[in-house]
Structure 1
Amino acid sequence: MKNFLSNYFRLSENGTNLRTELIAGFTTFSTMAYILVVNPIILSKAGMDFNALVTATALAAAIGTLVMALWARLPIALAPGMGLNAFFAYTIVLGMGYSWQFALTAVFLEGLLFILLSLLNIREAIIDAIPAGIKHAISVGIGLFIALIGLNNAGIVETGMKAVGDGQLDGVIVKVGNLTAAGPLIALAGLLVSGILMVRGWNTALLIGIIAATLLGIPLGLTHMPEDGRLVGWPPSIAPIALQFEFDKVFSRDMLVILFTLLMVNLFDTVGTLIGLCSKAGLLDGQGKIPNARKALTADAVGTTAGAMLGTSVVAAYVESASGIAAGGRTGLTALVVAILFLLSLFFAPLFAIIPSAATAPALVIVGMLMMGAVVHINFADITEALPAFLCVVMMPYTFSIAEGIVFGMLFYVFLKLLTGRGKELSPMMIVLALLFILGLFLK
């Protein structure tokens, strides 16, 4: 078996060995295992069954990562994406009023389209046409959006205004919550623990922060044992959420708008992550291209399609894979280890069920912080670059919608370039995308 793995993944050719790849796999899993908690909590806000979501999340991550491991043979793990799950729950369902079944149908169709676009190499062509500043701004905006969700879930900040009669509103849009309450206390404690461990270089910082906050929640009355008292058991059934599609609405205008928005949101995610991770691992070729790019892009498309069938949101490459790469992972064997660990995690679903939403806030805030790092790549000296990027960033948390931020950023970029005599800087594809965004506005 050792020789087979060494030959199949070409360990010696990539300057690595079996032990290094195994350690890298465990490292990557430890840094992204929080998704097994966070994804079910976020999607359950849309009315989906929490326990079933734990199983769906683990299976979707395992399937997508297996394709990446065995076909693309890259040390990159996949799972339901942060930001995209928030878009699913908070924008499509809670914000726009659609059912979660409707949203799952859109995710399923997006997966099928992405498989086709990946095989035809169209995804790379579209990505190449998008300005770098907008790509970075999308990452930053999603980071702020995710952090806001985490802070709000913990009660550290409170959002929204309430009616008090005669059309009068009371409260403010965003304010500091009661920081002495149990939720904010355990979230802030977990955030402090994760921050300290990150400073010390612990790859498990996010996961330990969640565990610390959960343990602190026991004496504060927020953490409750499962009803049967067991922390280990058989995986929960996915029956409540699997294959729950609304195909009767496939050709509706609403589906067109949501599907188009999902495509736009997800287009910028995996390609950017793949480039960054492969660059860190020293895997890019002489022209700066990703090895097995088409296979790698197909992996997230297959994962998304399978994930929708299982009952979860869009599957994407995880930047946390950088931790495994930093530990020496260079081949698909690293990803294979991650996939196996996701499958084993299915038997610990009752353990995830006891974790309060406030305990996951530290992970959301820190992931938001990490995504903010892309802001240094935005050219603020050029207003035609800076203003669209800024609008893209701020409109996501301000409107509580990732899609609105992208629309504002893309359209302002095109309009500013055209109206300042710099239309030559726009690619034909960028103009086409802007027209599609305008069409999408009128289709709402």
Structure 2
Amino acid sequence: IPKNIKVSISVAIGFFITYLGFSNSGIGNFEEGIGLGNFSDPNVFLAIVGLILIALLTLYKVPGALLIGIIVVTILGIPFGVTQVPEQLFGIPDVNEISNITFSFDFNGLLNGSTIVLIFIAFFGDFFSTLGTVLGVSQKANLLDDNGNLPGIARPFLVDALGTVAGAIAGCTTISTFVESSAGAQAGGKTGLTSVSTAIMFFISILASPLFLMIPDAATSPVLIFVGYSMISSITNIDFTNFSEAFGPFVMIVFTAFTGGIASGISAGILADVAIKTFAKTEKAEKAVHPVMYALCIPLMIYFIFN
């Protein structure tokens, strides 16, 4: 994958995260096209307050600005009726019905044509979402080399694959990489200890799930918007003076932003990049396309057709 595409992945994810923040908070209305949300809604008001608060805290380099913003907006949301305080903050989860989904497999029709297509679509969606998230978050954490590559990238892919399989066995939604991890990188978490700490906190949150579930979207959405801003700043690394290098990233960014999907954005960006460089007149642009990229275009086109 060429460097211009890898650089633009971070930018595309930045727009995607910002879109999530606007959508979850209600600042933006995406139900019937694109438009402003209802600014008389307390959720929207508190989300804007949270965004301004996080920006000011960041301006003055206050540690934990994102976490402080979440806590303050959650508390402010109580008198506004946005934050619903539960009857109890701690409790033991009910696992009586877990057997209904754990190890619940249906092998009937596994090898028919339609199932294979679904497996293919699920794989490519997960693969490119993981690729985009890993490179995007790694760039935010300054872990990429000069060519935009992540040394040892096979390890996070292996963890993602094992998590996906284990999650399916347990009946969970896909255990995969999440773009929200960029908030952790923004706060300074850049080592494996960050993931271990996160896992420990998740185990603790099982017993305090009512406490965490009371946090409204108005409190978390400003964090997504702010992290989106920080990732979009990487757009300065894209050479827009060279059309053959800039067109693929442009397509990737707009597809991600306006379709609301990382996998579709990356796939469209790769197809556009290969197409424009293939028909470019300069020999340098033609050599920029790796043979594997041509082979990759075939399943990507199939992905769009059947998805």
TM-score band (shorter)? 0.7 to 0.9
Q: In the alignment, is the contact (CA less than 8 A) between 1:236 and 1:349 conserved in 2?
A: no
The answer for the alignment partner of 2:297 in structure 1 is 434
The answer for the alignment partner of 1:137 in structure 2 is 8
Match 1:269 to one of 133, 146, 153: 133
Q: In the alignment, is the contact (CA less than 8 A) between 2:43 and 2:82 conserved in 1?
A: yes
Q: In the alignment, is the contact (CA less than 8 A) between 1:392 and 1:409 conserved in 2?
A: yes
The answer for the alignment partner of 2:88 in structure 1 is 230
Equivalents in 1 of 2:123, 2:189: separation in Å? 33
1:43-442 mapped onto 2 (5 Å cutoff): 130-161=1-32, 173-226=33-86, 229-235=87-93, 237=95, 239=98, 248=108, 251-270=115-134, 273-274=137-138, 277=141, 279=143, 290=151, 294-310=154-170, 311-316=172-177, 318-319=181-182, 320-321=184-185, 323-324=187-188, 335-421=195-281, 422-442=285-305
| Counterpart residue type for residue 297 of structure 2 | A
Q: How much has 1:132 moved relative to structure 2?
A: 1.6
Equivalents in 2 of 1:199, 1:244: separation in Å? 50
| Counterpart residue type for residue 440 of structure 1 | Y
Q: How much has 1:348 moved relative to structure 2?
A: 1.6
Structure 1 runs not aligned, ≥5 long: 1-129, 162-172
Q: Secondary structure at the match of 1:217?
A: helix
Change (3 A) 1:371 1:278: closer
| Counterpart residue type for residue 13 of structure 2 | I
Change (3 A) 1:156 1:249: farther
Q: In the alignment, is the contact (CA less than 8 A) between 1:270 and 1:300 conserved in 2?
A: no
Equivalents in 1 of 2:9, 2:223: separation in Å? 19
Q: In the alignment, is the contact (CA less than 8 A) between 2:64 and 2:187 conserved in 1?
A: no
Q: Secondary structure at the match of 1:252?
A: helix
**TM-score, L = length of structure 1:** 0.58
Equivalents in 2 of 1:153, 1:234: separation in Å? 28
Percent sequence identity over matched residues?
32
| Counterpart residue type for residue 428 of structure 1 | P
Structure 2 runs not aligned, ≥5 long: none
**TM-score, L = length of structure 2:** 0.81
Equivalents in 1 of 2:189, 2:70: separation in Å? 23
Aligned length: 291
